[in-house]
Amino acid sequence: MGTGENKTMETAADVAAYLDTVEPAERQADGRAITVLMALLSGEPPRLWGPSIIGFGRYHYRYDSGREGDMCRIGFAPRKAELVFYLAGLDDADFMALGKHRRGKGCLYVKRLADIDMGALEALIVQSLAHMDGLYPR
């Protein structure tokens, strides 16, 4: 892979088969629930991006540096320790009703869906999709 190429690319791997490998069992069940929710809200089928990101939709970006590539509009990764959500365009106040979580740059980390308000998560996903549609119209 050359320099500047995106490491995370859409693959043809089977999302359901990937979810079958996720551990622990609660994370697998949460992953299935999020897959259904994100597919419903985005109107896009789930696709595996790289080895472990389940993404919905795609957009093409181009930075001022000249680097460009494709990435999923929204996505998540059911990692062993927690669920990692890839959402954009959200402010601190948007997370107030969510419940137990932590955040990093462009990422939301949740240990289990049972710890958060699903209506608040749904609102975050919808808001992120609207933000992406504004930046990168479909």
Q: In the chain, where are the structural domains located? A: 15-135
| pTM reported for the whole predicted model | 0.92
Cα 9 to Cα 49, 52, 79, distances in angstroms? 5, 11, 18
Residue 3: predicted pLDDT: 44
The percent of residues in the chain predicted with pLDDT above 70, rounded, is 96
8 A C-beta contact, residue 83 and residue 77:
yes
70-111 per-position pLDDT tens digit: 999 999 999 999 999 999 999 999 999 999 999 988 899 999
8 A C-beta contact, residue 49 and residue 11:
yes
55-80 per-position pLDDT tens digit: 999 999 888 898 899 999 999 999 99
Tell me the sheet residues that pair with 116.
99
Residue 5: predicted pLDDT: 57
Among 119, 127, 29, 123, smallest CA distance to 78 is for: 29
Residue 1: predicted pLDDT: 37
Residue 56: predicted pLDDT: 98
Residue 2: predicted pLDDT: 40
Residue 62: predicted pLDDT: 87
